[in-house]
Every structure is written in structure tokens, then in C-alpha cells.
Amino acid sequence: MAYFEAGHVAANSCLVVQDAPGELFALLTSRMHMDWLRVVGGRLKSDLRYSKDVVYNNFVLPPIDDGQRATLAELGQSILNARALYPDSTLADLYDPTTMPSELRKAHSANDDYVDRLYRAEGFTAPDERVALLLDLVKARSKQ
């Protein structure tokens, strides 16, 4: 996920969130959201396929106050700042697990830990725990 300046055209396989706020970027780039994507998203060969209807619209956001919203925006900006340190690198380069820059890894780790605790104070120890909680939240939302 990335921000683009006006004038860019998204290809047919891309999804766009117009004027996305920083806190949404932080939530969507979190380990919580990526674990959700891995379970409910589709695949083309081994590549993940993101769907607005299945993945985005069904990802239950935690209730957050203005202070938490601001912290999320700061954490998201930290990720973008870490990426900006490597202007000649593509996202594929930056997110190669064997060569990911330490600044970017640290920024994501801080974001991931914060987002986990928005959903559950004690955090999570495994992806299955995150997905199970999200599925419970979806189920509870559908009963309302």
C-alpha cells in the first residue's frame, strides 16, 4: 500500500481509497490486517489478491478515540518515513524479508504492536488468534 500524488491512474487490479487518512494506512498495513487478508483474501497462483468486498469491507476496525487516531497516523507516517530513506527501492525491494531495512522493520513492528493492543490489551501471540478475534467481531456485527 502506498500514497500517490494526483495524476496517477490505478490499473484495473488496484484498489484506491481517495484521501485515505493516516490512521487507515496504519491499520491496513498492520499485521492484523495482513493476517486477515491471508485468510479471507483470494490468490492468483501464490500471490495474495485483495478484494474490497471480501477483505476491506469485512475487516472490523476497533473503536478508536482521537488520541489513538493520532498515534496511528504517526505510526503510519513512521512507515512512510522509513520507506523514504530508500527512494531508489521498490516496495518489492523494501519488503523482501531477507533484505528489509531495519528502520522499516522497526516502524512496522511498532505499528503492529500498537494495532494489536487496540483490539486486545494483552496483544496476540499468533496469526490464528488475530483472525479468530476478527471472525468473532464479524459474527457479532452481523447479529446487530
SS3 141: helix
Structure confidence by residue, pLDDT tens digits, 26-73:
999 999 999 999 999 887 888 887 888 889 899 999 999 999 999 999
pLDDT (0 to 100) of residue 129: 97
Structure confidence by residue, pLDDT tens digits, 80-102:
999 999 999 999 999 999 999 99
Domain ranges of the chain: 22-142
- With a pLDDT cut of 90, the percent of the chain lying above it is 69
pTM comes to 0.90
CA 105 – CA 126 distance, rounded (Å):
18
pLDDT (0 to 100) of residue 26: 96
SS3 110: helix
